[in-house]
Amino acid sequence: MPHDLTPLEDRLGYRFADPHLLVLALTHSSFVNERDNAQESNERLEFLGDAVLELAVSAELYACFAAEREGQLTRLRSRLVKEASLAAMAREIGLSEYIRLGRGEETQGGRERDALLSDAFEAVLGAVFLDGGFGAARDLVTRLFAGHWPQCPSLPKAKDFKTRLQEHTQQTQRQRPIYSQESMDGPDHAKVYEVVVSLPDGCAYRGLGGSKKKAEQEAARQALMAMGLEPATRD
C-alpha cells in the first residue's frame, strides 16, 4: 500500500481533515489478524458506508426520477449498489492498490476480489461521512457514479412467452404460430381453458390456464421449453 494517499484523495475529489479515517477504511481484517498490536479493521466503516451509500443513491434517484414508483426506484437502486457495480467503481479509482491486506489474502488474489473491493469502497464512503458529513458523502457518490446513473428511469420489461415464440418462428420459419382453444371446463368461478399452439413446422403444444390468455402463454412456454429457449422451471 502506498504511503502517500494524496493521489487517491485526488481521484475521490475529497481531502480528509482526518487522514487516519482513510487509512482505517483501507485496512482489511486480514492485515489486522496478522499483527500482534491491536488494530481496527474497516468492517465497522463498511457497515456505516453501506447505509450512507443506500441513502445517498436513494436521494439522488428520488430527486431525478420524480415520476417513478417505489418498486421501480428500488430496482434502479439495486442495480447501482450491487457488489459487482461497486467493485467496478473501486477499480475505476484504483482503490485496490491502496488497500492494506495480510500476506495470505494478498497471495490468494484478494486484491481483485469483488467482495473485498466493494467492501472497501463502502468503508471509504463511511470514512467520508464521518469526516465531512452526509453532504460530503452524497457529493462523493454523485461524482463517482457519474456516467452510471440510469438515463431512462424505465427498465426494459421482459418479453412474454407469446411474443418470444412469435419472434422466433417469424425469424426461423417466416410464419406466425397459430393458437386455438380446445376446451373450457369447470364452473364459472374456476374455469380451466386448454389452448393448443401450432407451429409452422407442424409441432403443437398444449397449455392450461384460468383464462384463454393464460392458457396461450402456457402453450407458448411449453413450445419454448421444447426448443430449449426456456428453462424447465422459472424463478
pLDDT of residue 197: 96
**Could you give the count of Cα atoms lying within 13 Å of 51 in the half-sphere of its Cβ?**
9
Residue 230 or residue 51, greater confidence:
51
With bands split at pLDDT 50, 70 and 90, how would you rate the model's confidence at 234?
Answer: very low
Give me the pLDDT at residue 187, please.
79
Positive/negative CA dihedral, 147, 149, 152, 158: positive
pLDDT at site 141 = 93
> In what helix (H) or strand (E) does residue 195 lie, and over which residues does it extend?
strand 192-198
- Overall average pLDDT of the 55-77 stretch: 89
Band of the pLDDT at 2, cuts 50, 70, 90? low
Specify the pLDDT at position 205: 95
**What is the fold of 6-144?**
Ribonuclease iii, N-terminal Endonuclease Domain; Chain A (1.10.1520)
Quickly state the pLDDT bin for 235 (edges 50, 70, 90). very low
Euclidean distance between CA atoms 65 and 69, whole angstroms: 9
Active site residues: 50, 122
State residue 109's pLDDT score.
81
Distance CA 157, CA 152 (A): 13
| Alpha helix (H) residue ranges in the chain | 6-12, 19-25, 29-33, 43-64, 70-81, 83-92, 103-107, 114-132, 134-144, 161-173, 212-226
Range of 18-32, 33-47, 63-77, 98-112 with top mean pLDDT: 18-32
Q: Which pLDDT score is estimated for 174?
A: 87
CA distances for 149 relative to 49, 79, 107, 205, 233, angstroms: 19, 10, 35, 43, 33
For residue 44, the model assigns a pLDDT of 96
161-226 to CATH, choices 3.40.50.150, 3.40.630.10, 3.30.160.20, 3.40.50.300: 3.30.160.20
What's residue 92's pLDDT?
A: 87
Question: For 173-231, how does the pLDDT look when each residue is reduced to its tens digit (9 = 90+)?
Answer: 889 999 999 999 887 777 889 999 999 999 999 999 888 998 999 999 999 989 888 87
Distance between CA atoms of residues 122 and 47, nearest Å: 8
Q: What is the pLDDT of residue 155?
A: 47
Domain boundaries, the chain: 6-144, 161-226
* Nearest of 191, 196, 199 to residue 180 by alpha carbon: 196
pLDDT in tens, 149-181: 886 554 455 578 999 999 999 888 889 999 999
Mean pLDDT over 127-139 rounds to: 95
**Which residues make Cβ contacts (< 8 Å) with residue 94, sequence separation at least 6?**
7, 8, 11
Instruction: Please determine, for residue 5, whether its predicted confidence score (pLDDT) is greater than 50.
Output: yes
Q: How far apart are CA 103 and CA 107, in angstroms?
A: 6
